[in-house]
Structure 1
Amino acid sequence: MSQTITLYVDGACKGNPGLGGWGAYIISQDGEHKLFGGEAETTNNRMELTAAIEGVSFCPKDAKLIIWTDSNYVKQGITEWIHGWKKKNWKDVKNPELWQQLDQVCAGRNIEWNWIKGHAGHAGNEMADQLANLGVQHPEKQHVVVPEAEWIG
Structure 2
Amino acid sequence: MRVVAYTDGSSRGNPGPGGYGAVLLYTDPNGVTHTKELSQGYRRTTNNRMELMGVIAALEALRRPCQVELHSDSQYVVNAFNKHWVEGWQKRGWKTASKQPVKNPDLWRRLLQAKRAHEVTFVWVKGHAGHQYNERCDELATTSADGLAGPLLDDDGFEG
1:102 corresponding residue in structure 2? 111
Inter-partner Cα distance in structure 1 for 2:81 and 2:112: 7
Question: Is residue 75 from structure 1 mapped to residue 78 from structure 2 by the alignment?
Answer: yes
| Higher helix residue share | 1
2:138 corresponding residue in structure 1? 129
AA partner of residue 95 (structure 1): N
- Cα root mean square deviation, aligned: 1.3
Inter-partner Cα distance in structure 2 for 1:127 and 1:107: 27
Deviation, structure 1 residue 109? 1.3
Question: Is residue 26 from structure 1 mapped to residue 31 from structure 2 by the alignment?
Answer: no
Secondary structure of 1:59's partner? Answer: coil
Residue 43 of structure 2, aligned match among 40, 43, 54: 40
- TM-score, with length taken from structure 1: 0.87
1:9 and 1:69 in contact (8 A); partners too: yes
1:45-81, Cα deviation, whole Å (9 max, x unpaired): 0000000000111013322111000000001113311
Deviation, structure 1 residue 10? 0.1
1:78 and 1:103 in contact (8 A); partners too: no
- TM-score, with length taken from structure 2: 0.83
Secondary structure of 2:23's partner? Answer: strand
Residue 140 of structure 1, aligned match among 128, 142, 151: 151
Inter-partner Cα distance in structure 1 for 2:91 and 2:121: 23
Rg larger in structure = 2
Runs of 4+ in structure 1 displaced over 2 angstroms?
Answer: 139-142
Number of corresponding residues: 140
2:43 and 2:152 in contact (8 A); partners too: no
Identity %: 37
AA partner of residue 24 (structure 1): A
Inter-partner Cα distance in structure 1 for 2:81 and 2:106: 13
